[in-house]
């Protein structure tokens, strides 16, 4: 039994798909299949059931999975000890980031980090805030970057930047009516929003509540899974949205969108990490690169 076999087994178990696991690990599908077959044959067990073109954990696989993860965590801890002794910044880092951060804020910063630490291999997965939090909690990501609130009290959280949400409509959108109190009548708008669990949707819901409007009272016209889809739908005149200024800066400059003056609070871009996992030198180097701080302080909900 080798560490590589364990890594492949855990990846296949978590993703339920041989090809996806192989792609994540940077190996061929045949190499992943061979590693699983070798592990099974070496110990005379069946770890997966093959159901048509899909695979699922067998009973033995379910029992083995937490033990395999524990071995990999101990191996990573041992690697960290040697790394700290040698003070060599190497290894790999897995980052989970929400869409706005991953697409508009992170790439240039990772490029500059790579120039400073070329021996560190970086990988990024993208999801909404809730998905990023789950990836950090279960160990699929070394740390996460989010713009929404997190819920778990076993995460450490540090602000890395600020973001400005803005309300935008198409250039041709009619003027928005006002309430008797002199505020925008947000109930009169057709809204295009992100899916539940995203920080972008959270910003709209917070704004509605600050205006004394329940999110359930809003006219939700479209729910879309990406910032780009939301931006294009708004440009097409389908409705209004609240979204990061980073996402729509070019559209505003080109005139396909216009912003609606409204007082929206800035929100934090935050880095989250598991409180109980020891950070490697590479992780600490990237944290310092993004935050300008050497460590993350424990927080609860934020």
The string of pLDDT tens digits covering residues 250-268 is 999 999 999 999 989 999 9
186 and 227 share one domain = yes
Indicate if the pLDDT at residue 125 is higher than 70: yes
113 and 31 share one domain = no
139 and 169 share one domain = no
Flag whether 300 is in a domain.
no
24 and 58 share one domain = yes
- 18: which 2 tokens? 């041989």
Flag whether 92 is in a domain.
yes
> Which structural domain, as residue segments, surrounds residue 219?
165-265
Mean pLDDT across the stretch 94-116?
A: 93
154 and 95 share one domain = yes
Q: What is the mean pLDDT of the chain?
A: 87
Provide the pLDDT confidence category of residue 237 given band limits of 50, 70 and 90: very high
251 and 170 share one domain = yes
157 and 275 share one domain = yes
* Percent of the residues in the chain that have a pLDDT greater than 70, as a whole number: 92
Give the count of domains, the chain.
Answer: 3
258 and 286 share one domain = no
Query: Where residue 104 sits, what CATH number does that domain have?
Result: 3.40.190.10
Flag whether 120 is in a domain.
yes
Task: Encode pLDDT of 40-94 as tens digits.
Answer: 888 888 888 887 767 888 888 888 888 888 888 888 777 666 655 545 677 889 9
Flag whether 113 is in a domain.
yes
Output 168 or 78, whichever has higher pLDDT: 168
Domain stops at, among 43, 73, 103: 73
Flag whether 301 is in a domain.
no
Indicate if the pLDDT at residue 296 is higher than 60: no
Indicate if the pLDDT at residue 209 is higher than 90: yes
133 and 278 share one domain = yes
274 and 148 share one domain = yes
Flag whether 296 is in a domain.
no
Query: Where residue 19 sits, what CATH number does that domain have?
Result: 1.10.10.10
Please tell me the pTM assigned to this model: 0.67
144 and 279 share one domain = yes
159 and 175 share one domain = no
Flag whether 298 is in a domain.
no
Task: For residue 263, report the phi and psi dihedrals to the nearest 5 degrees.
Answer: -85, 100
Flag whether 239 is in a domain.
yes
Mean pLDDT across the stretch 258-282?
A: 89
């Amino acid at each position: 039994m080798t560490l590589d076999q364990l890594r492949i087994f855990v990846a296949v178990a978590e993703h339920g798909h041989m090809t996806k696991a192989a792609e994540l690990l940077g190996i061929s599908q045949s190499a992943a299949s061979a590693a699983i077959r070798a592990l099974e044959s070496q110990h005379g067990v069946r770890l997966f059931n093959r159901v048509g073109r899909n695979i699922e954990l067998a009973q033995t696989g379910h029992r083995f999975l937490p033990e395999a993860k524990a071995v990999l965590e101990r191996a990573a801890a041992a690697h960290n000890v040697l790394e700290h002794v040698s003070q060599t910044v190497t290894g790999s880092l897995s980052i989970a980031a929400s869409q706005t951060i991953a697409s508009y804020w992170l790439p240039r910063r990772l490029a500059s980090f790579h120039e400073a630490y070329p021996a560190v291999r970086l990988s990024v997965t993208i999801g909404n805030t809730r998905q990023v939090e789950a990836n950090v909690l279960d160990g699929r990501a070394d740390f996460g970057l989010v713009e929404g609130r997190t819920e778990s009290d076993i995460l450490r959280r540090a602000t890395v930047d600020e973001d400005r949400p803005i309300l935008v409509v198409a250039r041709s959108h009619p003027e928005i009516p006002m309430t008797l109190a002199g505020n925008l009548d947000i109930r009169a708008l057709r809204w295009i929003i992100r899916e539940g669990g995203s920080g972008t949707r959270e910003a709209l819901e917070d704004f509605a509540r600050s205006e004394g409007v329940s999110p359930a009272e809003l006219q939700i016209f479209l729910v879309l899974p990406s910032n780009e889809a939301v931006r294009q739908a708004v440009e097409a005149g389908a409705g209004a949205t609240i979204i990061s200024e980073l996402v729509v800066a070019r559209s505003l400059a080109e005139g396909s969108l216009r912003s609606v003056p409204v007082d929206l609070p800035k929100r934090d871009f935050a880095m989250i990490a598991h409180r109980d996992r020891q950070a490697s030198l590479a992780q600490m180097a990237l944290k310092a690169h993004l935050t300008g701080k050497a460590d993350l302080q424990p927080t609860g909900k934020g």
